[in-house]
Amino acid sequence: MDFSLAGNWVFLVLAVVITAAAMYTVSTRNVVHAALALVTTMATAAAIVIMLGGEFVGWVIVLVYIGAVVVLFLFGIMITRAQVGKATALDHEGNVRVMAAVVAGLMFAAITYGIVELFGDAQLPEEGVVRTVDIADSMFGRFVIPFEAVSFVLLAALIGGIVLARRDEER
């Protein structure tokens, strides 16, 4: 690694932070702390994506995952079980830690293998920021049918969720 490049130093810091935050997310016994560590993980992931020039995707991660999904997590946790200062038993029974470690290790190996195979030591082009206009053009041009299909599936899931959750008053 070339330590004269600022980008490498930034990546190093981000990598340390994201690893620590991810470990804390799964190891802490306090659900709210876990959610906050998840926020840190997401924010760092967004920062890494932005470093790779994916500005739009990076800020979508911030908006959707930090601004909405984790807020909903926290919301749900707070109206149900989280009491200040109390640790809840979050582990399942049995030897799940080993299984979790194995699954995590396999995932890591698979992703690392995939990335190295695909990209090798390819370099990002200078001025590598992907313009939002280009994303919009490809999303609503070349990929418009997959895009519509995905939104249809999401809509179906949403309606299904409402149907399952809704309790009509009995007459």
Provide the minimum distance between the beta carbon of 56 and other proteins in the complex, in angstroms, as a whole number.
6
Spatial neighbors of 25 by CB under 8 A, at least 6 apart, are 34, 37, 38, 41
**Which two tokens mark 66?**
């930090």
Candidate segments 82-90, 95-103, 107-115, 146-154, binder of other proteins by CB under 8 A:
82-90
Cα 168 to Cα 3: distance, rounded to the nearest angstrom: 63
Residues 113-132 that bind other proteins (CB under 8 A): 129, 131-132
Cα 2 to Cα 9: distance, rounded to the nearest angstrom: 9
Does residue 70 belong to the site contacting other proteins (CB under 8 A)? Answer: yes
Among 24, 28, 62, 147, binds other proteins (CB under 8 A): 62
Residues 35-54 that bind other proteins (CB under 8 A): 36, 39
What is the per-residue binding string for other proteins in 4-23, x denoting contact by CB under 8 A? xxxx-x--------------
Calculate the alpha carbon distances from 94 to 90, 97, 113, 129 in Å.
12, 8, 31, 47
Does residue 1 belong to the site contacting other proteins (CB under 8 A)? Answer: no
Candidate segments 62-70, 93-101, 148-156, 161-169, binder of other proteins by CB under 8 A:
62-70
Among 12, 13, 16, 78, binds other proteins (CB under 8 A): 78
**Which two tokens mark 108?**
């890591």
Q: Residue 68, Cα to own-chain centre: how many angstroms?
A: 12
Q: Is residue 57 packed enough to be buried (19+ CB in 10 Å), middle (13-18) or exposed (0-12)?
A: middle
Using CB under 8 A as the criterion, which residues of the chain lie in contact with other proteins when the complex forms? 3-7, 9, 30, 32-33, 36, 39, 55-56, 59-60, 62-63, 66-68, 70-72, 74-75, 78-79, 82, 84-85, 129, 131-133
